[in-house]
Amino acid sequence: MSNQTIFISYAHANSEEVLEIIKKLTDAGISVWYDAFIKPGSDWDESIENAIKNADVVLVFLSKAANDSKNVKQEYSFAIDQQKTIIPIFLELVEAPFRLRLNQSFYFTENKNLAVQNLILRLQSPDGIYKAKQASALSKFVTKAKESVRYVVGVLVLFLVVVIYIVFFTGNTTADDSTQTTTQESTADNDWQTVTSEDTEAAYYEYIINHGVSDEHFEAALDSINLFLTYEGYVEYRNQNDEFSFYRAVFFEDNQYFVSEDYKKPEVGDLLVANKSKNVYNIVDGQYVTLHDEIISIDQIVRVVEVLKYEDSAALWLKVAYSK
């Protein structure tokens, strides 16, 4: 994300707090744009519109003042229409605007330092961003439906024709399959609500294992796991005797995700699961030095940050992100 631009949408009543966060983002090498960049004499609306069009990500800082701000509403509505990546940031415990409720959010209402760290991790990770396509699609559907009563009637008629066809021509098998699919979707949604309420990396990982990579919540579950992995260190993936300490649990190959117990050479971004306890090391003067009391436990999840292979050695070391 280092070459991408982040547009900041906020209410001026929250300027002091937002500017502190902006400073931490820029200190981390993240490029941001907010209304202070508008040149004197420039058209305000045109400047905002162009900035959103050129942005890759839009951060919307939510508060009571922001929810009451017409400018903030116009900015995130335009960003949705442009199908931009949108991340709501809660400065206060307020109700999320309807058009942003499908988006993954960050809460700065308690541990702000941790929230900033997680936000930076999200912005720096290409797999850590969610687009507002679902919200945008819903908005466009509603708009088109309002444009013409005939369109709505036509859709209803087509729906009735499909229902009649299913009932009278395809038999009970199709109906049973439809019912089964609906039940599976309902079960997944219920499980997802339970997992998000529990909000632990183990719960998200179990959801992925149970529901697979084709589930609509897979990306959200994967990204949620990454948010817990805020510490980094070095671990031995394979020793000189060709014994493995981890297996690849979630990995990306040939443009698709896989979930299985795999012992191939890991790649950056893979999620690994430890099959034995391993010490965590740091590198000091080219030597691995054990970090005091830092241990990856059996069944603990880590994410690959870097793969290190040395010549004339069967051992394979990884730099990983992990949680304590």
What CATH number corresponds to the domain at position 49? Answer: 3.40.50.10140
Closest by CA to 86, choosing from 171, 94, 95, 75, is 75
Claim to verify: residue 108 and residue 197 sit in the same structural domain: no
Claim to verify: residue 55 and residue 113 sit in the same structural domain: yes
Q: What is the pLDDT of residue 129?
A: 39
> What range does the domain containing 302 cover?
229-322
Is the pLDDT assigned to residue 182 strictly greater than 80?
Answer: no
Report the C-alpha gap between 203 and 205 in whole angstroms: 5
Claim to verify: residue 121 and residue 184 sit in the same structural domain: no
Domain closes at, from 133, 164, 199: 133
Phi, psi of 141 (to 5 degrees): -65, -45
* Burial state string for 26-61 with b = 16 or more CB within 10 A and e = fewer than 16: eebebebbbbeeeeeeeeeeeebeebbeebebbbbb
**CA-to-CA dists, residue 247 to 149, 201, 275, 315, angstroms:** 56, 17, 7, 15
pLDDT band at 79 (very low <50, low <70, confident <90, very high): very high
The fraction of the chain above a pLDDT of 70, given in percent, is 79
Closest by CA to 114, choosing from 223, 200, 21, is 21
pLDDT band at 3 (very low <50, low <70, confident <90, very high): low
Is the pLDDT assigned to residue 154 strictly greater than 50?
Answer: yes
Claim to verify: residue 44 and residue 108 sit in the same structural domain: yes
Is the pLDDT assigned to residue 127 strictly greater than 60?
Answer: no
Least confident range of 69-78, 177-186, 187-196, 291-300: 177-186
Q: Would you say residue 300 lies in a domain?
A: yes
Q: Would you say residue 44 lies in a domain?
A: yes
Answer whether 234's CB lies under 8 Å from 318's CB.
Answer: yes
Report the C-alpha gap between 85 and 217 in whole angstroms: 17
Claim to verify: residue 253 and residue 211 sit in the same structural domain: no
Claim to verify: residue 204 and residue 159 sit in the same structural domain: yes
More confident residue, 174 or 228: 228
- Looking at the structure of the chain, the number of domains it has is 3
Report the C-alpha gap between 305 and 319 in whole angstroms: 5
Q: Would you say residue 138 lies in a domain?
A: no
Residue 313 makes CB contacts below 8 A (sequence gap 6+) with: 240
Q: If 0-12 CB within 10 Å is exposed, 13-18 middle and 19+ buried, where does residue 75 land?
A: buried
> Which of the listed ranges 24-33, 92-101, 129-138, 148-157 does the model predict with the highest average pLDDT?
24-33
Claim to verify: residue 285 and residue 187 sit in the same structural domain: no
Is the pLDDT assigned to residue 173 strictly greater than 60?
Answer: no
Claim to verify: residue 236 and residue 217 sit in the same structural domain: no
pLDDT band at 179 (very low <50, low <70, confident <90, very high): low
Answer whether 224's CB lies under 8 Å from 198's CB.
Answer: no
Render pLDDT for 216-227 as a digit per residue (tens, 0 to 9).
Answer: 888 889 989 988
Q: Would you say residue 270 lies in a domain?
A: yes
The fraction of the chain above a pLDDT of 90, given in percent, is 28
Mean pLDDT for all residues in the chain: 80
Q: What is the pLDDT of residue 11?
A: 93
Claim to verify: residue 33 and residue 81 sit in the same structural domain: yes
Region of residue 293 (phi > 0: left; psi between -120 and 50: alpha; otherwise: beta): left
More confident residue, 283 or 128: 283
Claim to verify: residue 269 and residue 183 sit in the same structural domain: no
Please give the average per-residue pLDDT across 227-239, as a whole number. Answer: 89
Is the pLDDT assigned to residue 123 strictly greater than 70?
Answer: yes
Domain closes at, from 108, 133, 158: 133
pLDDT band at 1 (very low <50, low <70, confident <90, very high): very low
Domain closes at, from 165, 192, 222: 222
